[in-house]
Amino acid sequence: MFLPIPNTDPLSALLTKHVPPERRPQRDVTGEWSSREMHQMVMSNSWRALAKMARDLIVASDPEDLTRILDLWSLRLSSLARLRLTNQASTECTNLFAVLNAVPAPQPHAPAAGHGAPDMLSAYPFELSVLRARVRYWAGDVKGYIDALAGLLVGCKAKARAEGKEEANLSMWLERAARVCLMLASQLVEMKDYHAATKLLEPLCTQHLSPSGPPTPSPSIHSAVGRIYLLSGNLQKATEHFRIVASCPDAGDGAIAMNTALMCSAVGDWSRAEVALREVLERDPQNYTATNNLAVTLLAQGRVKDGIELLESAVHESPASVLVAEPFIFNLSTLYELRSSTAMDNKRELLIEVAKWSGDGLKATCLKMPPN
């Protein structure tokens, strides 16, 4: 059922190649968890320790406590995925469901109808059903992954209809259906099928805060749809959605300014984009997404030095927040390369800081350093 977890990772390989032993930070690649709290491990991205903890607790659990065992399996598989050990996660997930399928599961009312069938959603934790669908993606079967998510969506909607006026459960299944829609839309954007992604998300732009209440606009979904339209080059539709966000009383000023910055960037008005992003940072200095985007606008204006200083300042202020974000690290590495005289030295120092703060599972290629 369980495969051994490697005691090394790509970040360790980069440290071995580029950093002398006396300067290498101490990193826990053993996965020791017995003296640590779960919350601490999650916050420090200690996915190796969490995966080993889940395995040990599964083995020690009462075999009849199926709910606890399946929840621990969800933690185990999620942690393996975070470690980017997707082949191992796929194998263990397949092994798990081979065992589960050999045991009769409780049948609520209807026969099984695939991954997303309502009875399967009742028998297993929802997160485990999502991970089972994700196995298709890890195997490179993108169409199969979309089909599996579509099956989950059908199942969530069926469960929501079955709940009737049971408000708590109805809200739970509607929220799960919305989550699956967002996963589907994310995959469609990855495939550059922007039209399908927007058509899927637009019905979610109005939300029911309660089953009996009136629909209200969702600023976050309108913003997401508008940004997908930006990716597709449809500036008119993006503007429509951004205007709706600006008119929402519960839309934060930061979200409105961020949308303005993205629209200005799309049309090449970098100076206005910079003004909008600085406005975001004035309200929320710890909005590191805005910091990252501001560095891009500075680069577009040829201000490489200013971009480096901005990102380095964020590293010094909150390394635990920014040195786990691969786009941030990639952009800083790129800016270092553009200041080519010191690029390798700067990236070596960045590697040391990343090794101190990033935990497990970072995609080491974002540092743009040769592994061999």
Is the pLDDT assigned to residue 110 strictly greater than 50? no
* Dihedral of alpha carbons 177, 183, 185, 191, sign: negative
Is residue 116 scored above 50 in pLDDT?
Answer: no
Q: Where are the alpha helices (DSSP H) in 164-218?
A: 167-190, 194-201
Q: Is 60 exposed, middle or buried (0-12, 13-18, 19+ CB in 10 A)?
A: exposed
Tell me the average pLDDT across 212-233: 88
How many whole angstroms separate alpha carbon 47 and alpha carbon 51?
6
CATH of domain 288-371: 1.25.40
Q: Would you state the pLDDT for residue 167?
A: 73
- State whether the Cα torsion 168-172-175-177 is positive or negative: negative
**pLDDT of 137 over the 90 cut:** yes
Asked whether the beta carbons of 161 and 121 are under 8 A apart, the reply is no
**Entry pTM:** 0.88
Between these two residues, 46 and 110, which has the higher pLDDT value?
Answer: 46
Residue 109 has pLDDT above 60, yes or no: no
User: 108 versus 203: which is more confidently predicted?
Assistant: 203
| CB of 65 closer than 8 Å to CB of 73 | no
What pLDDT was estimated at residue 108? 47
For the residues 144-152, what does the mean pLDDT come to? 96
Q: Over range 127-152, report the average pLDDT.
A: 95
Q: What is the mean pLDDT of the chain?
A: 90
For residue range 310-341, what is the model confidence (pLDDT) as tens digits? Answer: 999 999 999 999 999 999 999 999 999 998 88
Residue 83 reports pLDDT greater than 50: yes
What pLDDT band is residue 11 in, cutting at 50, 70 and 90?
A: very high
Contact 112, 73 (CB under 8 A): no
